[in-house]
Amino acid sequence: MNTKIITLFLLLMLLALGGGCDRYIDSRDPVRSIPDSGPVPKNLTVLLNDQSISLSWEIANPEVVGMYRIYAAVQPRVGEESDFVLRDSTAARSIQLDQLLINESYYIKVAAVSTSGLEWEQSEAVKAVFTYLSIAIESGRELVKGLSVRVNINAPTQTSHIMLSEDQTFATDIWIPFEGTVINYELSDGDGTKWLYARLQFDDGSRTGNVLSDSIVVDTRATIDSVFFTVPANGEYFTVGETITFGVTSGEAGGDASISFDGGLSGRIDLYDDGVGVDPEADDGIYYGAWVVPVSYTLDHGEVTGRFTDEAGNSAPDFTASNFLTIFTPPQSVILTASPLSTFEISLTWTQTTSSAADFAAYRIYRHTTSAVSESSTLVYATSTSTSTDFTDTDLDDNMQYYYRHYIYDKSGLSAASDVATARTLVNTTPDPVELFVVDNGSETTTELHWTKSTESDFDSYRIYRPASALVSQPSLVMFTTLVWKGNDIDELLRAGISLPVATGNYFFVLYVFDKHGEKSDASNTVSAPAPAGE
C-alpha cells in the first residue's frame, strides 16, 4: 500500500509542474523564437540608392515592440522560410541596407520583436535590386563650354521613369519615360557651376531614395585682361643674351597661354601657370614664360600679342600689350691682337667685321696704361672703313705696357668691345754714332758736311753742332752746344751745307744722332773747316 501512495504522489507532482510552466520551447537558434500573436510590419517601402537600400514600414502598437529584425533572401523557395537570412536589426521603423551583392535581386521581410525578446510573425516580402545608381554630366568632365550636355545614367534595366532637373526639390518636374542611359539636357543660361539632380522609378513602382546628383562648370567664354613683359636693364631696349619675361593675365587657371611678336620670331613662346621657373604662383590665372634674346635678333617697336585658350576650350580674342618691344643686337666684336714693333711702336691687327656694310658705322681703338681700358680711355684710331684690319700706334714710351680695346659700332649706335689686347714696347738703347766728313765745296763762306747713315729703328733726327766762335784747340765734345743744322729724315741725302760766318781760324763740327725718346748718341768724330777771312 505504501508503494501505491508514493507512485500517486509523484504523478500528481508531475501534473502540477506541467500545468504551471510558460509556453516556450528552448531553441538552439537565438533569434528564431516560437511566434505568438503580435503586431506584424505592414506597408513595407523600398527606396533604392547607389549601393544601398532604404527600407521603411508601418506597425500597429509600436509601444510593445523592442526591436525589428530584417531578413533577406535571394530567389527564395515557396514556403521555405529558412531561405530568409537575418541581415540586420534596428529599433527604428526604417533602416538602410548595404554590403549586399551588386545587381542582385533581394526579397526582404521584417519581423517585430517584443520588449521581452519574443519574435512575432514576419511581414510580407518586398523585392529590391541592390545596384549602382549614379548620373554623370559629360562622362564626369569638370568643364564644358556650352549649355547642351549629355547626361550618363547608371541604372538597372528595370528602370521605367526618370526626373532630371536643376531643382533639387523637383517642384515643377514630372516623371518622363526612361528610354536610355544617355539623355541630352539643356542647362540654364549663365557661366558657373551647374548642378543636375535625378530620381528614378522602377518597373515594380519603387523609386530611388537619395537624390542622384552631379555638377559641372559651364564656361562659355575666355578673356585676356593684360599682356606684359619685363623692362630692359637699360630702360630702353633688350640686347642679345638678355632674358625677357612675358606674362598673360586671364583670371582662369588650367588653360593654355602664349605670346608672339612681329620681327621674325618663329612660332610662339608658351607661358605657364604652374608655379615653376619664372611663374611665382601656381593656378592664379597669370601665365608666365621666359625667352633669351638670340644672337643677331633685332626688333624695333614690335607689338607683343597674347593668346589664351581656357580649360573648357574657349579661345579668347588676341590681346596686344600696351607697350612696344625693342630688341637691338650689337655687332659682333672682332678679335684684337697687339704686338711690339719697336721702342715706340705697337702693331694692332683685328679680324674683319661680319656686319653688313649697311649696318657698319665705325671702328675705334682705345689705349690705356692699365687693363681698365674703355671708351673713356685715349682714342688712338678711328675709321669708317669696314675692311680696315690693322693699325700701328706710335710715339709711345719705351719699355711700357700698353692695353688696347677695339670697338665696333653699327648705325643704330650699338657697339661691341673686343677683349683687351696688350703689348710692351721694346727697351730703348743709346743710338750708335755715325762718322762725319767735311767736303771742300770751293766756297769760303760755306762748307759741306757728309756722314754715314744711322741704322736706329727709332731714329728721330741728325743734329750738327759748332761753337759760337772758332777755337784754337779742339774742346770737349760736350761743349758743342750751338745747333747749326737738324734733319729728321733718315733717308734723305746724308749731307748738309753749313754757312760759315766771318771769323778767324777754323770752325769745328760734330754730329749727334737722336732717337724718338730724346736719347742722343755719342758724338761723331770732329771735323773742321776754315772760317772765311774778312776784308
Over the stretch 327-370, which tens digit does the pLDDT of each residue have?
888 888 999 999 999 999 999 999 998 887 778 999 999 999 99
The pLDDT score that the predictor gives to residue 475 is 45
The low-confidence residues of the chain, meaning pLDDT below 70, are 1-36, 263-267, 467-482, 492-493, 534-535
Dump pLDDT digits (tens) for 182-214: 999 999 998 889 999 999 998 888 888 889 999
**Measured distance CA(472)–CA(128) in Å, rounded:** 154
**The pLDDT value given to residue 266:** 53
pLDDT of residue 265: 54
Q: What is the pLDDT of residues 217-260, one digit of tens each?
A: 898 899 999 999 999 998 888 988 899 999 999 999 999 999 99
248: phi then psi, degrees, rounded to nearest 5:
-130, 125
Reduce the DSSP state of residue 346 to 3 states and report it. Answer: strand
Query: How many whole angstroms separate alpha carbon 153 and alpha carbon 132?
Result: 10
pLDDT computed for residue 21 by the predictor: 35
Which grid cell is 231? 623692362
Instruction: Name, in order, each residue with C-beta under 8 angstroms of 323's C-beta and a sequence gap of 6 or more.
Output: 229
In this predicted structure, what is the pLDDT of residue 101?
82
- Torsion on CA atoms 22, 25, 31, 35, rounded to nearest 10: -70
Q: Which of 356, 362, 338 is nearest to 348 (CA)?
A: 338
Cβ neighbours around 258 below 10 Å, total = 19
Q: What is the pLDDT of residue 263?
A: 54
> What is the Cα–Cα distance from 154 to 102, expressed in whole angstroms?
13
pLDDT the model gives residue 77? 86
What confidence score (pLDDT) does residue 297 get?
80
Q: What is the pLDDT of residue 142?
A: 86
C-alpha dist (Å) from residue 479 to 110, 467, 485: 148, 8, 16
Query: Three cell numbers at 207?
Result: 523609386
Give how far the C-alpha of residue 274 lies from the chain's centroid of Cα atoms, to the nearest Å. Answer: 9
| Cα 271 from Cα 319, distance rounded (Å) | 14
C-alpha cell at 114: 517584443
**Which of these, 214, 221, 219, lies nearest to 139 by C-alpha position?**
214
Which of the 8 DSSP states describes residue 203?
Answer: T
pLDDT of residue 2: 39
